[in-house]
Amino acid sequence: MGDARDADQTATLLVTCPDRRGIVAALAQLLYGHGANILDSDQHTDASAGQFFQRIRFDRSEMHTDRVGLERAIGEVAERFGMSWRLCDACEPKRVAIFVSRYDHCLYDLLLRHRAGELDCEMVMVVSNHPDLEPVARQFGLDYHVFPISKANKAEQEERELALLEESRIDLVVMARYMQILSGDFVARHPSRIINIHHSFLPAFMGGRPYHQAQERGVKLIGATAHYATTDLDEGPIIEQDVMRASHRDSVADLVRKGRDVERTVLARAVRWHLEDRVVVYGNKTVVFD
């Protein structure tokens, strides 16, 4: 119980700004001055873009100011350095909705990892355009919502989905092989808060039937890509990628089997890093802190 209480007293500060001298010192002095104890800090400078990124995790149990006061102080430093910043409390786990169609491998993997304590979040619901995976959701005690989608009703059903997400205060949408293209409006209302798993190593083999494309090319590596969804199909900021060896002996079915193994691990890593506030998006890229 002691570790759990300690964890609840931590917070994470993520900052992005033009690179210049004094940023690290200013943030460290700010947190020290408010009674925070820095537990770990990581930083990165993109020299070509002239941008600085930092992730600071700190213990706030002995702070002598409240969150409002801390945010005001951070805001003053941010104005001085032209910073974008985000402050996240560990005591407020993110609320997650998983979107699926008929494939169950990524869904099972995420739910099992959550049950095992690997994903620190509140799994709230599963949303689908098919009824097939309702038994899986029920097995884990989750509500299952079905929104059948056709060309004729897509806009209406998306509005219903969006209303459900807002009502349920969802912080993160995970597309665990959800075989629908989200509209620009849907994505725009959840910027950098929709993670998609693409069953291919982007930017190769985009769109449909990637394993057929890969087999026709005789690939020697099969991979998967987890990225934030944007209005450009399969072109959002990449969070994680991985590959597995393939050979001339592999059929399309072999590639699919290998690909599903990679999809599970890549999606789980991306979701965990997002939940732990390790990802910063800039442009169409990400910085993922260790």
Q: What is the pTM of this model?
A: 0.91
Residues 148 and 174 in one domain: yes
Q: Which residue has the higher pLDDT, 199 or 226?
A: 226
Question: What is the end-to-end Cα distance of the chain in Å, rounded?
Answer: 26
Q: Residue 60 belongs to a domain with what CATH number? A: 3.30.70.260
Q: Which residue has the higher pLDDT, 145 or 203?
A: 145
The letter for the amino acid at 207 is G
In this prediction, residue 217 carries a pLDDT of 81
Residues 99 and 223 in one domain: yes
How many independent structural domains does the chain possess? 2
> Among 34-48, 71-85, 232-246, 272-286, where is mean pLDDT lowest?
232-246
Query: Of 109, 234, 250, 277, which is the active-site residue?
Result: 234
Give me the mean pLDDT over the 206-212 stretch.
71
Say if residues 201 and 224 touch (Cβ distance below 8 Å): yes
Domain end among 56, 89, 122: 89
Give residue 192's Cα distance to chain centre. 7
In this prediction, residue 287 carries a pLDDT of 97
Residues 101 and 197 in one domain: yes
Task: Check pLDDT > 70 for residue 3.
Answer: no
In this prediction, residue 140 carries a pLDDT of 98
Residues 62 and 108 in one domain: no
Say if residues 142 and 122 touch (Cβ distance below 8 Å): no
> Among 72-86, 187-201, 268-282, where is mean pLDDT lowest?
187-201
Residues 147 and 222 in one domain: yes
Residues 270 and 138 in one domain: yes
State how far the alpha carbon of 232 is from the alpha carbons of 188, 206, 237, in Å. 11, 12, 10
Give me the mean pLDDT over the 205-214 stretch.
72
In this prediction, residue 209 carries a pLDDT of 75
The DSSP H or E segment spanning 113 is: helix 105-115
Residues 124 and 83 in one domain: no
Question: What is the percent of the chain where pLDDT is above 70?
Answer: 94
Q: How far is the C-alpha of 199 from the C-alpha of 191, rounded, in Å?
A: 22
Task: Check pLDDT > 90 for residue 215.
Answer: no
The letter for the amino acid at 167 is E
Residues 194 and 265 in one domain: yes
User: What average pLDDT does the chain have?
Assistant: 92
* pLDDT tens, residue by residue, 95-124: 999 999 999 999 999 999 999 999 999 999
Residues 39 and 144 in one domain: no
In this prediction, residue 109 carries a pLDDT of 98
Give me the mean pLDDT over the 143-166 stretch.
97
Q: Residue 205 belongs to a domain with what CATH number? A: 3.40.50.170
What Rg do the C-alpha atoms of the chain give, in angstroms? 21
Task: Check pLDDT > 80 for residue 7.
Answer: no
E-strand ranges in the chain read 10-18, 37-46, 51-59, 84-89, 95-100, 122-128, 143-146, 172-175, 194-198, 221-228, 238-245, 279-282, 285-288
Write out the residue range of the structural domain in which residue 59 sits.
2-89
Q: How far is the C-alpha of 212 from the C-alpha of 137, rounded, in Å?
A: 30
> Among 6-10, 135-139, 155-159, where is mean pLDDT lowest?
6-10
Which of 84-88, 213-217, 254-258: highest mean pLDDT? Answer: 84-88
**Active site annotation includes 234:** yes
Task: Check pLDDT > 60 for residue 203.
Answer: no
* pLDDT tens, residue by residue, 37-56: 999 999 999 999 999 999 99
In this prediction, residue 232 carries a pLDDT of 76
Domain end among 61, 89, 117: 89
Residues 107 and 81 in one domain: no
Residues 215 and 76 in one domain: no
Domain end among 25, 54, 89: 89
Residues 7 and 101 in one domain: no
State how far the alpha carbon of 175 is from the alpha carbons of 8, 58, 74, 254, 264, in Å. 28, 31, 34, 23, 12
Q: Tokens 């897509």 map to which residue?
A: 154
Q: What is the dihedral of CA 99, 102, 105, 108, to 10 degrees?
A: 60
